[in-house]
Amino acid sequence: MGFVKYEPQGAVAVITIDREKALNALNSEVLEDLDKVIDGVDLDTIRCLIITGAGQKSFVAGADIGEMSSLTQAEGEAFGKKGNDIFRKIETLPIPVIAAVNGFALGGGCELSMSCDIRLASENATFGQPEVGLGITAGFGGTQRLARLIPTGKAKEMLYACTNIKAADALSWGLVNAVYPADELMPAALKLAGKIANNAPIAVRNTKKAINDGLEMGMDDAIAFEAKQFGGCFESADQKEGMAAFLEKRKHEPFQN
For binding to ligand HXC (CB under 6 A), which residues are involved? 22-23, 25, 61-66, 79-80, 83, 104, 106-108, 130-131, 134, 138-140
Task: Specify the residue, 33 or 131, whose C-beta has the smaller distance to ligand HXC.
Answer: 131
Using Cβ positions, the residue closest to ligand HXC within the complex turns out to be 107
Residue ranges of E strands in the chain:
4-9, 12-17, 48-53, 58-60, 97-101, 104-106, 118-122, 126-128, 165-166, 178-180
C-alpha distances out from residue 179 to 43, 51, 114, 146, 227, Å: 29, 16, 16, 19, 34
Task: Specify the residue, 101 or 197, whose C-beta has the smaller distance to ligand HXC.
Answer: 101
Task: Specify the residue, 104 or 255, whose C-beta has the smaller distance to ligand HXC.
Answer: 104
Active site residue 111: yes
Task: Specify the residue, 53 or 107, whose C-beta has the smaller distance to ligand HXC.
Answer: 107
Q: Amino acid identity, residue 136?
A: I
Active site residue 248: no
Ramachandran class of 174: left when φ > 0, alpha when ψ lies in -120 to 50, beta otherwise: left
Which of 20, 77, 91, 111 is labelled catalytic? 111
Which of 75, 131, 184, 226 is labelled catalytic? 131
Residues 6+ apart with CB under 8 A from 26: 17, 34, 60, 62, 63, 64, 83, 108, 109, 112
- Dist. CA 206–CA 49, nearest whole Å: 16
153 burial level (CB within 10 Å; 0-12, 13-18, 19+): exposed
Residues 6+ apart with CB under 8 A from 236: 200, 202, 257
Task: Specify the residue, 67 or 241, whose C-beta has the smaller distance to ligand HXC.
Answer: 67
Query: Min. distance of Cβ 173 from ligand HXC in angstroms?
Result: 20
The catalytic site residues sit at 111, 131
